[in-house]
Amino acid sequence: MNEQKIKINPTTESADKGIRTTFIGIIASIILAAIKGLAGYFGNSYALIADAIESTSDVFTSIIVLTGLRIAKKPADHNHPYGHGKAEPIAGMLVAAALFFAAIIIIVQSIHEIITPHHSPAPFTLIVLVLVVITKEVLFRYVIKVGKSVDSIAVKNDAWHHRSDAITSGAAFIGISIALIGGEGYEAADDYAALLASGVIIFNAYRLFKPALYELTDAAPPPDVIVKVRNTSLKIPGVHAIDKCFVRKMGFSYFVDIHVIVDGNITVYEGHDIAHAVKDGLMEEYSKISDVLVHIEPATEERLKRQHNI
Shared-domain flag, residues 177 and 227? no
Shared-domain flag, residues 64 and 99? yes
Shared-domain flag, residues 154 and 238? no
Say if 3 falls within a structural domain.
no
Shared-domain flag, residues 207 and 254? no
**Predicted local distance difference test score (pLDDT) of residue 301:** 65
CATH, residue 166:
1.20.1510.10
Last residue of a domain, which of 199, 216, 233? 216
Say if 1 falls within a structural domain.
no
Other Cβ atoms within 10 Å of 40 Cβ, number = 25
Q: How many distinct structural domains can be found in the chain?
A: 2
Say if 5 falls within a structural domain.
no
17-66 per-position pLDDT tens digit? 778 888 888 888 888 888 888 888 888 776 677 777 767 777 877 788 78
Last residue of a domain, which of 183, 216, 249? 216
Q: Which residues of the chain have pLDDT under 70?
A: 1-12, 46-47, 54, 117-119, 301-310
Q: Give dist(CA 101, CA 199) in Å, integer.
A: 12
Shared-domain flag, residues 114 and 254? no
Shared-domain flag, residues 204 and 259? no
Q: Give dist(CA 58, CA 64) in Å, integer.
A: 10
Sign of the dihedral defined by the CA atoms of residues 30, 33, 37, 39, in that order: positive
Say if 293 falls within a structural domain.
yes
Shared-domain flag, residues 23 and 159? yes
Alpha-carbon separation of residue 253 from 10, 99, 141 (angstroms): 7, 26, 24
**Predicted local distance difference test score (pLDDT) of residue 305:** 61
Shared-domain flag, residues 162 and 200? yes
In terms of residue numbers, what domain contains 236? 223-309
Shared-domain flag, residues 151 and 284? no
Say if 2 falls within a structural domain.
no
Say if 211 falls within a structural domain.
yes
**Predicted local distance difference test score (pLDDT) of residue 205:** 81
**Predicted local distance difference test score (pLDDT) of residue 86:** 82
Sign of the dihedral defined by the CA atoms of residues 31, 32, 37, 39, in that order: positive
CATH, residue 282:
3.30.70.1350
Shared-domain flag, residues 101 and 146? yes
Say if 167 falls within a structural domain.
yes
Shared-domain flag, residues 227 and 212? no
Shared-domain flag, residues 201 and 231? no
Last residue of a domain, which of 216, 246, 263? 216
